[in-house]
Amino acid sequence: MPDPEKSLLERLAGFLTPQPTSASERRQELIETLREAQTEGLIDADALSMIEGVFQVGQLCARDILVPRTQIDWIDINLPLSDIIKNVITAAHSRFPVFEGTRDNVIGTLLAKDLLRHVTEKDFQVRDWLRPAVFIPESKRLSVLLRDFKDNRNHLAIVVDEYSGVAGIITIEDVLEQIVGDIEDEHDVDEEADNLITLDNGDIRVKGITELDQFNESLGTTFDVDGIETIAGLVIQHLGRVPKIGERIHLENIEFEIQRADPRQIHILLARQVPKNPD
């Protein structure tokens, strides 16, 4: 804990000189000192949040925030061009991993802008416009990965497990969101009316920031917890922690499945109605 006898500036200066304490202890002391600085108005809440995010990036690995292979919007190189174009338009991403034969055989990355710029050219072949795929191990530190993204101008990496199988993907946006919070991009829904989207299989895609009142009105639930305003907050309050991707939580007659999340917050959930458990 910070020494109350020292001034805030003295404690901050102390982090610039070597100390016998462990790195983790020093890190925690620094965070506590910065939180005190925020309380005293020396830095604002957003700055503190980003600083804590930087520390978090230094501790996390690719496996902690990757998009699992089951949730990737893939491109099969052997599909007809018309189907590839349709898939790109539907998914509305800027980059797609492309495989041939099996999804563990990634042969490159397709940029939507390359497809749109050149698709009308004579004898156009998707294969000719693939960018080299970047492969990283699950254990790669996010701080190192962010530097690699910056130095090599890559925005997407394929994460492989110890058996060289594809575990998922990770983008530069995924890493930056650990520092600055959720970034709305070209395929994120940003209209309140799109906070809940019914999928073809009957599941409902729910943004974590959806307010409880809107969710209750749409699904006929009665969620009401003091101090909790959003679905993400409700799930985190119920569990006492941020759930992992793929985790399922039952509340009332709703099963929530975490579709997109990071160690700090829930971004997207799937909701489906199930019979209530008997008391």
Mean per-residue pLDDT for 35-51?
78
Binning pLDDT at 50, 70 and 90, where does residue 16 land?
A: very low
Is residue 187 in some structural domain?
no
Q: Is 194 helix (H, G, I), strand (E, B) or coil?
A: helix
Is residue 126 in some structural domain?
yes
Same domain, 136 and 70: yes
Contacts 24+ apart (CB under 8 A), 101-108: 103/69, 103/72, 103/74, 103/166, 104/164, 104/165, 104/166, 106/133, 106/135, 106/158, 106/166, 107/77, 107/133, 108/132, 108/133
End-to-end CA distance of the chain: 45
Tokens of 264: 């700090």
Domain end, chosen from 180, 202, 233, is at: 180
Same domain, 71 and 169: yes
- The CATH number that applies at residue 224 is 3.30.465.10
Tokens of 239: 């569990």
Q: Which residue has the higher pLDDT, 197 or 159?
A: 159
Query: Quick one: how far is CA 131 from the chain centroid?
Result: 23
Domain end, chosen from 127, 154, 180, is at: 180
Same domain, 87 and 145: yes
Q: Which domain holds residue 105?
A: 64-180
Rg for the chain (alpha carbons), in Å?
A: 22
Same domain, 95 and 121: yes
Per residue in 131-143, pLDDT tens?
A: 999 999 999 999 8
- The CATH number that applies at residue 156 is 3.10.580.10
Number of structural domains the chain divides into: 2
Tokens of 77: 């190189």
Binning pLDDT at 50, 70 and 90, where does residue 19 land?
A: low
Instruction: Please indicate, yes or no, whether the overall pTM of this predicted structure exceeds 0.75.
Output: no
Is residue 7 in some structural domain?
no
